Amino acid sequence: PGKIISKVVEFARKTKKLGQDDPRRIIHSLKVGLAITLVSMFYYFEPLYDGFGVSAMWAVLTVVVVFEFSVGATLSKGFNRGLATFLAGTLGFGAHHLAILSGEKAEPILLGLFVFLLAAMMTFVRFFPRMKAKYDYGVLVFILTFCLISVSGYRDDEVLEMAHKRVSTILLGGFAALLVCIVICPVWAGNDLHNLVANNIEQLASFLEGFGPEYFNTSEDVESNNTLLEGYKSVLHSKQTEESLANFARWEPCHGQFRFGHPWKHYLKIGSLTRKCAYRIEALHGYLNTKNQTSQEIRSKIQDESIKVSSESVKALKELAMAIETMITPSAATLHITKSKIAAKNLKLMLNADLCKETDLLEVIPAVTMASLLVDVVSCSEKIAESV
């Protein structure tokens, strides 16, 4: 029993953390509950129920399936579902009509053939990368509706009426979901993408901020430094998140500081440059573990210049992140990058002058590599700066 209690406590702790990390999650859950309850209530209004009958269930189904976390995702799913249902309904009705014309015996064979061909073709279409990214759900609904309409029609000649009812309930469900999603505390995918990209650049800055003290053993607060140093890791794997957010953001109407048709693709470009920089930083991170191969003496020689390089980069990156966040052209970023480039040049010169003559090069190599990775990071930041 003690084990069960500890598990329950653990679960409660996790739940609380999830809610605290992003309170929008709690609001989202309540919104979904509200939308579903609203639509379910259709069953209780006699006039509405008499109009739709069992079809009312499609409204509930649509809300459950279409309601997503961000407005863009909900819009894109709702649009996919609506359009696909309409197209497939029309086509399904056509196929059904054609099959009936061909006579009693040929009907099931013809319909079977239609269903087979369409399902196979549409399944193949889902493999196209561009279709997969944008219309995967629509194609699925298309197959589904086509099969349901064309086949069920065999029994029931009121296909047209059924299709009409189904389309209208689905539209109703879709609108209910959208309304609740947009009106009550909307979550904008575009806003999330915007913050993610800015935040990723900031993560790189915090790594560089923590790197200097860690490498040269001047840091005191080891604990807090470690969190600074690990933050960049999420940047490495942010590609898919960014792409799906950009996909959803294209669907959103203007909101806050973003107009419709905001250049979302540009964020992907900045994001991929940020990732490139993060890969260099990952390589740099490796040198934290092997730092003791280089003697303290050598390290202290390059300390000042290295820290200058990284601190100027930090300033530049922070400036860039800020610029993205506020959407104001960065003014001081270029200055900081020029400064860090000068510092990098000084670092190189010093390596050349000081170290080569007196000490064993073998010992210096890791330091040199570290320094030139740092310089790489600087040139990566320069590219990010250009594209902001």
Q: What residues between 307 and 366 interact with its own copies by CB under 8 A?
A: 348-349, 351-352, 355-356, 360-362, 365-366
Which of 48, 83, 196, 283 touches its own copies by CB under 8 A? 283
Nearer to its own copies, 245 or 323 (CB): 245
Number of residues that bind its own copies (CB under 8 A): 75
C-beta of 289: minimal distance to its own copies in Å?
Answer: 11
Identity (one letter) of the amino acid at 259?
R
Binding of residue 236 to its own copies (CB under 8 A): yes
**Residue 314 is encoded by which pair of tokens?**
């930090």
Task: Report the nearest approach of its own copies to the CB of residue 273 (Å).
Answer: 13
Q: What's the closest the beta carbon of residue 252 comes to its own copies, in angstroms? A: 21
Helices 106-125 and 129-152 cross at an angle (nearest 10°) of: 160
**Least distance in angstroms from the C-beta of 63 to its own copies:** 9
- Cβ-based nearer residue to its own copies, 54 or 327: 54
- Of 230 and 325, CB closest to its own copies: 230
Applying the rule CB under 8 A, the residues between 134 and 163 that interact with its own copies are 140, 143-144, 147-148, 151-152, 154-155
By CB under 8 A, tell whether 257 contacts its own copies.
Answer: no
For its own copies, the binding residues in 32-61 under the rule CB under 8 A are 32-34, 36-37, 40-41, 43-44, 49, 54, 57, 60-61
Q: Please tell me the distance from the alpha carbon of residue 130 to that of residue 35, in angstroms, as a whole number.
A: 31
Residue closer to its own copies (CB basis): 39 or 323: 39
Binding residue (CB under 8 A) for its own copies from 13, 23, 101, 128: 128
Is 280 a binding residue for its own copies by CB under 8 A? The answer is: yes
Q: Which is nearer to its own copies, 334 or 346 (CB)?
A: 346
Q: Which is nearer to its own copies, 25 or 255 (CB)?
A: 25
Closest to its own copies by CB, 21 vs 220, is: 21
Tell me: does residue 110 bind its own copies (CB under 8 A).
no
User: Which residues in 69-108 contact its own copies (CB under 8 A)?
Assistant: 108
Nearest to its own copies of 26, 101 (CB atom)? 26
Q: Between residues 309 and 323, which has the closer beta carbon with respect to its own copies?
A: 309
According to the 3-state scheme, what is the secondary structure of the chain? CHHHHHHHHHHHHHHHHHHHHCCHHHHHHHHHHHHHHHHHHHHHCHHHHHHHHHHHHHHHHHHHHHCCCCHHHHHHHHHHHHHHHHHHHHHHHHHHHHHHHCCCCHHHHHHHHHHHHHHHHHHHHCCCHHHHHHHHHHHHHHHHHHHHHHHHCCCCCCHHHHHHHHHHHHHHHHHHHHHHHHHCCCCCHHHHHHHHHHHHHHHHHHHHHHHHHHHCCCCCCHHHHHHHHHCCHHHHCCHHHHHHHHHHHCCCCCECCECCCCCHHHHHHHHHHHHHHHHHHHHHHHHHHCHHHCCHHHHHHHHHHHHHHHHHHHHHHHHHHHHHHHCCCCCCHHHHHHHHHHHHHHHHHHHHHHHHHHCCHHHHHHHHHHHHHHHHHHHHHHHHHHHC
Q: Does 8 bind its own copies (CB under 8 A)?
A: no
* Contacting residue, 101, 120, 185, 342, with its own copies by CB under 8 A: 120
